[in-house]
Chain A
Amino acid sequence: MSQDIVDRVASKDISRNKRSLSGTEQFWLTFKYIALCFLTLVAIAPIYIMVVNSFKGITGVSQSAAWAFPLHPNFAAWGPVWENLRGSIGRTLFFVVQSSIISAIVGSINGYVFSKWKFRGSNVIFTTFLFGMFIPYQAIMIPLTQFNHWTHLTGSIYVLVFAHVIYGIPICTLIFRNYYAAIPNEIIEAGRVDGASMVRIFRTIILPLSIPCFVVVLIWQFTSAWNDFLFAIFLTGGSPKLSVATTALNFITGSGNQVYYGNNMTASLIVSIPTLIVYVFLGRYFLRGLLSGSLKG
């Protein structure tokens, strides 16, 4: 796999469409566009609902008119909802940033060792690591709560930092390992000949080369930790003092109260905005994380 995976997805010169098309080809092209547009509508429908209804005020949403565009667009729902969610969002940001940074650092060290300093049995350990990506949250939930209890982490936001760091390590390791595998061994050799130690080579040669990879991993970790619900609700026990974005949102929307539709939709939208912003501006890196998490190339 010489070509970078993301470039592969993103690259295809459209030049061959430039030649004039025959009748059937024209038909197929039109058909393709119709299909693509239909799929686009399907894909955006749920977010459209959210956006449109968040501008209708807290109770101004009648359920059957929810497809319609707001007649009197206003931000009435945003203020109170934001007040409600502010604390949780701040807390989420706090733990998400920490856990992403820590797991990225650990991941880069691991990836470095697995790709450049293979030792006996490193492949077995690496396979075990990979399996770590597939371990369902549920399987480590109970021991994790017990562990938190022993270490007196329970009741602080650090339970989530800890959980996400541990859980993020396999995928971060994988991403970094694949990235480092592409760095020629000669560079390492040259460093060794000059008498640099393993740690020194990492610090002075590898780290400066890994910035793009750090971006990928940080975005990946940020998104998955932000969107995580299971750890959040489980490890904080639903305590309001520790509510994070998703649990707070679930508290608002989960009550089944259909009257406050505008309220619910606005809250959902607010909680989705940070990850959406990341996606819109750094989508390429997001895609890279997504793909390298699945294709071992």
Chain B
Amino acid sequence: MIGWTVNVSLGKKTNSYTTAKGYVGLKNFRGLFQDPEFMHAFTNLLKFTGVFMIGTLISGLIMALLLEKGIKGEGFFRSIYLYPMAISFIAMGTSWRWLMDSTKGDKATGLNKIFHFAHLDFLQSNWYSSERGAMFAMAMPAIWQMSGYIMALFLAGFRGIPDDLREAARVDGASEYKIYRHILFPQLSPTFLTVLIILGHISMKVFDLIYGIASKSYVTKVLAIYMWQVIFDYQNFAKGASIAIIILLLIAVVVVPYLIYVVKTEEQK
């Protein structure tokens, strides 16, 4: 019963300003799509999401594959890969800002310094201060933070598959590659789905990470940052709320069907 009350309160709150905004209809939203800065933030967000999702998926999967069969020291590696999840991005931003410092050559710092040292100067980059690569650079710390989480999800997935399946395939003479390709990965499709949903919704609302590293810099602006700016610096609440609603919609479009699917399948069990 308490749950119900709380739920209603939650619902009301998410909607209360939609009604208040009813006065101007959809004008705010139309305005947004004509606002170049909004579109810039939106494109940035899409770029970021693409790189972040693919990158995290791959690196998380690699970590899981490396550990999946059980290896000495697994617990240690697992904890190391997962710890970034426990730290605030405002704190890690300090380190990353330095790591991705754009100075090059002899005076280079951070990652550029390592590349210089290893005679890989061509890898030196402007990171997030360049117009073109900014969002790609920004995805790096995000990938760094989330990979461990994705690894844990995949590990759970791999280990939910009975060993017999693998053994049977091996007896039938399937190569390791084929076992993964035809037996294990198909079994993991629910895990893949979960991972994509989680990464997607985290990416849509990304804020701390980018704010912590680059503050309100134009090149790395995403929707959440722009909303922040609109509300605090321009004091335009209606516009800010519209951006928030767009973020919410972006997430809802993907998440709602997923949740309904999850609850339905659970019921059938």
Show the binding face of A for B, using Cβ within 8 Å.
Answer: 1, 3, 5, 8-14, 16-17, 29, 32-33, 35-36, 39-40, 42-47, 49-50, 63-64, 66-67, 106, 109-110, 113-114, 123, 125-132, 134-144, 146-147, 166, 169, 173, 223, 226-230, 234, 245-246, 249-250, 253-254, 256, 261, 264-265, 267-269, 271-272, 275-276, 278-280, 283, 286-287, 290-291, 294-296
- Candidates A1, A109, A123, A137; contact of B3 at CB < 8 Å: A109
Closest chain B residue to A275 by CB distance? B86
A110-B6, A131-B252 in contact; A50/B262 too (CB < 8 A)?
no
Q: Mark B235-251, 1 if CB is under 8 A from A, else 0.
A: 00100110111011001
A139 touches B92 (CB 8 A): no
Question: How far does the alpha carbon of A147 sit from the alpha carbon of B70 in the complex, in Å?
Answer: 51
Interface contact A227-B7, CB-CB below 8 Å: no
On whether A63 and B7 interact (CB within 8 A), knowing A127-B259, A291-B153, the answer reads: no
Report yes or no: B149 in contact with A128, Cβ–Cβ below 8 A: no
Nearest CB to that of B4 among chain A residues? A125
Cβ of B7 to closest chain A Cβ, rounded Å:
6
Q: Which residues of B contact A8 (CB under 8 A)?
A: 155-156, 159-160
Is B40 in the interface zone, CB < 8 Å from A?
Answer: no
Q: Beyond the given A128-B7, A246-B90, could you list 10 further A-B residue pairs with CB under 8 A, ordered by the A residue number?
A: A46-B96, A106-B2, A137-B207, A228-B88, A261-B98, A271-B91, A286-B82, A287-B82, A291-B152, A295-B194
**Secondary structure dominating the interface of A:** helix
Residues of chain B within 8 A (CB-CB) of A139 are 14, 244-245, 247-248
Any A CB within 8 A of the CB of B13: yes
Q: Chain A residues near B13: list those with CB within 8 A.
A: 140, 143-144, 147, 166
Give the residues in chain B near A130, CB-CB below 8 Å: 259, 262-263
B residues adjacent to A (C-beta < 8 A): 1-4, 6-7, 9-11, 13-14, 16-17, 59, 62-63, 66-75, 77-96, 98-99, 101, 103, 107-110, 113-114, 141, 144, 148-149, 152-153, 155-156, 159-160, 194, 198, 201, 204-205, 207-208, 211-212, 215, 224, 227-228, 231, 237, 240-241, 243-245, 247-248, 251-252, 255-256, 259-260, 262-263, 266-267
| Distance of B257 from chain A, by nearest CB (Å) | 11
B245 touches A43 (CB 8 A): no
B95 adjacent to A50 (CB under 8 Å)? yes
Say yes or no: A106 contacts B92, CB within 8 Å. Answer: no
Whole-angstrom distance between the Cβ of A66 and the nearest chain B Cβ: 6
Assess whether A142 is in contact with B156, with CB atoms less than 8 Å apart.
no
Interface centre among A11, A45, A290, A294 (most CB of B within 10 A): A294
Cβ of A7 to closest chain B Cβ, rounded Å: 9
Enumerate chain A residues within 8 angstroms of B259, measured Cβ to Cβ: 127, 130-131, 134
Q: When the two chains form the complex, which single residue of A131, A143, A280 contacts B16, counting CB atoms closer than 8 Å?
A: A143
Chain A residues with Cβ under 8 A from B101's Cβ? 63
User: Which residues in B have their C-beta under 8 angstroms from that of A129?
Assistant: 3, 7
B84 and chain A: residue at smallest CB distance = A43
Residue contact A275 to B87, C-beta cutoff 8 Å: yes
Given contacts A143-B16, A276-B83, A287-B82, contact A134 B201 (CB under 8 A): yes
**Cβ of B267: which chain A residues have Cβ within 8 Å of it?**
123
Selected contact of B70 from candidates A12, A141, A223, A256, CB within 8 Å: A12
Partner of A43, one of B144, B160, B207: B144
Q: Which B residues lie within 8 Å of A106 (CB)?
A: 2, 6
Bound Cα distance A98, B84 (Å): 25
- Residues from chain A with a CB closer than 8 A to the CB of B62 are 35, 39
Q: CA A63 – CA B107 in complex, angstroms?
A: 9
B78 surroundings in chain A (CB, below 8 A)? 9
- In-complex Cβ contact of A63 among B87, B109, B156 (8 A): B109
A96 to B: closest C-beta gap in Å:
12
